Structure 1
Amino acid sequence: MKKLLSYIWPSTRRFSSEINGTLEITYINGKKVLDTENANYSYGSLQKILEFGLTKVDLKSVENILLLGMGGGSIIHSLRNTFEYTNNIVAVEIDPAIIKLAEDEFGIATSEKLQIIEADAFQFAKTSKEKFQLIIIDLFIDTKVPSIFYGREFCENISKMIQKKGFVIFNVGVNLEKQSAVIETLLSNFGKGFEFQLHQKVNGTNTLLIGAKSIAN
């Protein structure tokens, strides 16, 4: 009955987060979505944006994935169900409130092939020794990506974590211009070891950078 009513009267519950402010779980058109006051975090437009990025990567060759910024886990759901990806995923999320909502509301929890780590993505990238074949970067606080994730140190650390012939999908921002200083900075900071595709206005809003690491790096 609740699912049926959601097509007529969407219902919203609100939760408090010290990091992301007010979080909203809305039941609309038979499904739940996770939002902040100004942006979709999971199971809405963001899921479609990252799914687009995944279509540009050869997932059959990817043995493990690092997700920096888990949100409610919608891209994990997409990987498992839409793309039938069965290998290991490590998800890093700084906000304990979001980790709890992901489990309680969407059934996303640590399991045999999914490790969820409560940590700051910058520090994780700085200290981790593990290598990954695909890194997905989705590090928004509300509608903004903190500038530290555009910096040279973060980009160099990400590069070190990606295996040869591996990939990175970076959800760079909302409504960025093609000649944006952010994009130019990122391309410079990642260096010449990647071949990048730039996709703008994905789902009408977001800019994705998708990089393939060369064999020589």
Structure 2
Amino acid sequence: MSIDEASRHSDHDQPRNIVFVAYPQMGLLDLTGAQTVFWVANHAMTERGLPGYALHTASLAGGEIQTAEGLVVQSRKLSEFDDNPVDTLIVPGSPSIRQIVAHSTALADWLRDASVTATRTASVCSGTFLLAQAGLLDGRRAATHWVMAEWFERMYPEVELDPEAIFVQQQSVWTSAGISAGIDLALALVEADGGREIAMQVARHMVVYYRRPDNQAQWGSLLQSQFPASA
């Protein structure tokens, strides 16, 4: 559904606009993992007469965006959403995120302004760097990929980084750890919108944990146990 079509619905029936903020060399699964959660949730919500989501991928210039893995995705212009209601902004990470934040402030500037009117702003993996660059995490706790944790703490000492968390919510700002943790975060957002039963249905459909067991850390004991003690 387009923005114009959605605007003709009542507030009660209108889908929530979810904008995935794209940029060159972003991680593909950071983007599509969370997108798939909301896409599956749409089916569960429609069955219950709930409004669901309108999913948009947008970038500063619009057009084709090449991901870190080489796949090209199409995007709209972020400026199209300047005067349209956005429920949730989701920012994927990138293996090149340190270079990205060092050489451009335009995306962080847009996020800073857009987050004022968005209901929620979220990041996947190292997308947390862009939220921090925008000043959205000052004085707040946050999560990011454990590989990036040391660099993050050096660059943004004003943020309280939790290096083990899968995801963290601080008021309207949500951050998550590496790659597949974006699925965990998206499931939590769906639960906040539609309740536990719908989030459970989405997790079953995707064959993923609804919640990881025993508050599993990023570098969990199960993963560690799979490394042999010797050659």
TM-score, normalising length from structure 1?
0.38
The structure carrying a bigger helix percent of its residues is 2
The structure carrying a bigger strand percent of its residues is 1
Q: Which protein has greater RCO, CA pairs closer than 8 Å, 6+ apart? A: 2
